[in-house]
């Protein structure tokens, strides 16, 4: 496709003394990280989703669950006693200090479980998908950093359509995050996911093949 976007690829770092190649996949909210992760999985990579890990770690009865409830109160629980992510989000996305409290609970627990899953993955290429990959200091463990980007208007539309957020809520989520340009400073590969899925897929395949043939 002549008007397709092309992934921006910088020279890849020298691989580590291991048979595994770890991609850190990141990008701001509603840029399409999960879409890119699924494409990489289809190409044969193992995907570790930090957000899914958080879901697992927040289940009732876990130490992380207990710590979050102690910090934020029982008002964040639904009728079943599980953490209501929307209720918790409405607190932390309007108060940077509360967001830091939550991250101080989650990041250490996620890091431990992430390392366990990376160590036991069966494939050569492993993708670690995390919105806070760089901010949480986990970029250093990766062989390459892939940053997924999208135009702000596209992010807004996706949040309103897929998460049923109002425009004000969607803008609040976007504004609560670091600028995309900050993530791009760390990028080895940049995937522009503003357009058609076929354009994104073309970029992902090209960058993945660069690893396989590198």
Looking at the chain, the whole-number percentage of residues with pLDDT higher than 90 is 80
Between 9 and 172, name the one with better pLDDT.
Answer: 172
pLDDT at position 209:
96
Domain 1-45+124-214: homologous superfamily in CATH: P-loop containing nucleotide triphosphate hydrolases (3.40.50.300)
pLDDT above 60 for 9? no
Residue spans of the domains in the chain: they are 1-45+124-214, 51-122
Q: Is the pTM of this model over 0.85?
A: no
Average pLDDT rounded to a whole number, residues 27-38: 97
Q: What is the mean pLDDT of residues 172-194?
A: 94
Fold match between 1-45+124-214 and 51-122? yes
Q: Which of 127-136, 155-164, 185-194 has the lowest mean pLDDT?
A: 127-136
- What is the structure's pLDDT at 212? 80
* Mean pLDDT confidence for 1-21: 53
Q: Is 10 helix (H, G, I), strand (E, B) or coil?
A: coil
CATH architecture of 51-122: 3-Layer(aba) Sandwich (3.40)
pLDDT at res. 137: 85
What's the rounded Cα separation, in Å, for the pair 203 and 198? 9
Pairing relation of β-strands 144-149 and 21-26?
parallel
pLDDT of 7 strictly over 80: no
Higher per-residue pLDDT: 183 or 135:
183
**Residue 15: pLDDT band by 50, 70, 90 thresholds?**
very low
Each residue's pLDDT tens digit, 43-99: 999 999 998 999 999 999 999 999 999 999 999 999 999 999 999 999 998 999 999
**SS3 state of residue 153:** helix
Q: How far apart are CA 104 and CA 113, in angstroms?
A: 15
> Distance between CA 11 and CA 22 in Å, rounded?
15
pLDDT(11) > 70: no
Residue with the bigger pLDDT between 212 and 86: it is 86
Task: Annotate 93-152 with three-state secondary structure.
Answer: CCCHHHHHHHHHHHHHHHHHHHHHHHHHCCCCEEEEECCCCCCCCCHHHCCEEEEEECCH
Which tens digit of pLDDT belongs to each residue from 100-145?
A: 999 999 988 988 998 899 999 999 999 999 998 998 888 999 999 9
């Amino acid at each position: 496709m002549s008007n397709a976007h092309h992934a921006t690829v910088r020279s890849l770092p020298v691989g580590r003394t291991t048979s595994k190649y770890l991609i850190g996949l990141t990008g701001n909210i509603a840029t399409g990280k999960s879409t890119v992760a699924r494409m990489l999985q289809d190409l044969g990579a193992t995907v570790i989703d930090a957000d899914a890990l958080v879901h697992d770690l927040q289940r009732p009865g876990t130490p992380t669950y207990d710590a979050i409830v102690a910090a934020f109160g029982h008002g964040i629980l639904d009728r079943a006693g599980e953490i209501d992510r929307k209720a918790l989000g409405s607190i932390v996305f309007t108060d940077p200090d509360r967001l830091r409290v939550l991250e101080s609970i989650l990041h250490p627990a996620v890091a431990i479980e992430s390392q366990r899953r990376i160590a036991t993955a069966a494939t050569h290429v492993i993708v670690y998908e995390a919105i806070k990959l760089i901010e949480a200091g986990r970029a250093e463990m990766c062989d390459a950093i892939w940053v997924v980007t999208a135009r702000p208007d596209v992010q807004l539309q996706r949040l309103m359509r897929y998460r049923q957020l109002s425009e004000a809520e969607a803008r609040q989520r976007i504004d609560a995050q670091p600028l995309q340009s900050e993530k791009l400073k760390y990028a080895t590969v940049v995937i522009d996911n503003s357009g058609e899925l076929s354009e994104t897929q073309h970029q992902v395949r090209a960058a993945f093949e660069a690893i396989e043939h590198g």
